[in-house]
Amino acid sequence: MLDLEVPDLGPGVGLSDALEEVRPTFVAFVISFLLVGMYWVWHRGVFANVGHADLNLVWINLLFLLPVSMIPFAASVLGEYSSNPAALHLYGSVLIVATLVRTWIDLYLDRHPSLLWTPVSKQRRRLSTIVATAPIAVYIAAMLMADVAPEVSLALYFAMPGIYFALITILKTGSRTKVASEGLS
């Protein structure tokens, strides 16, 4: 799987060359750490307001964990084949599925407000859906760029957590969205 190991310095191999060899794995690890962190922060924020989880929510949540648990595998492939479009497509596909199931959880909770401690306003639900689905556009762009500019594709994946948190910050500071965006994560 995705292992960060100290590079082995064979005869005639300098540390700089050895570090350059493990750079793609390191980059894939950092990107994946940030993205899993992004999903974890969202998950923690949403479930802090869940007072009761019915069986359907438990199963949807379990389905959410499936693509999230596949991120290390996709990252390992990406680390090994960072300029291969197929690796970049696999990575994006896993992230899109995770994002879609995340959105499904949001929509399920919208339709079952009795599961929540505090009811959510219509504007907050709308903002939550925008924040939940926004990464899909970046992942699709990254997948489209994979065939023509793999380094741009990788940069888009790397930028996604920053874009995500910038979007939340903008929503939390906007005069029209400030109140409704409280609690978004």
The predicted-structure confidence for 68-104, as pLDDT tens digits, reads as follows 999 999 999 999 999 999 999 999 999 999 999 999 9
Burial category of 111 from C-beta neighbours within 10 Å (exposed 0-12, middle 13-18, buried 19 and up)? exposed
Q: Give me the phi and psi of 116, to 5 degrees please.
A: -95, 150
Asked, for residue 34, whether it belongs to a domain, the answer is yes
Asked, for residue 4, whether it belongs to a domain, the answer is no
Asked, for residue 61, whether it belongs to a domain, the answer is yes
Domain count, the chain: 1
Q: How many CB atoms are located within 10 Å of the residue 164 CB?
A: 21
Yes or no: say if 92 and 157 are a contact pair by the CB < 8 Å rule: yes
- pTM, to two decimals: 0.91
Asked, for residue 88, whether it belongs to a domain, the answer is yes
Q: Quote the domain boundaries for residue 103.
A: 29-173
User: CA 152, CA 123: separation in Å to the nearest integer?
Assistant: 34
Asked, for residue 81, whether it belongs to a domain, the answer is yes
Asked, for residue 53, whether it belongs to a domain, the answer is yes
Q: Give me the phi and psi of 50, to 5 degrees please.
A: -90, 115
pLDDT digits (tens, 9 = 90+) for 28-73: 999 999 999 999 999 998 999 999 999 999 999 999 999 999 999 9
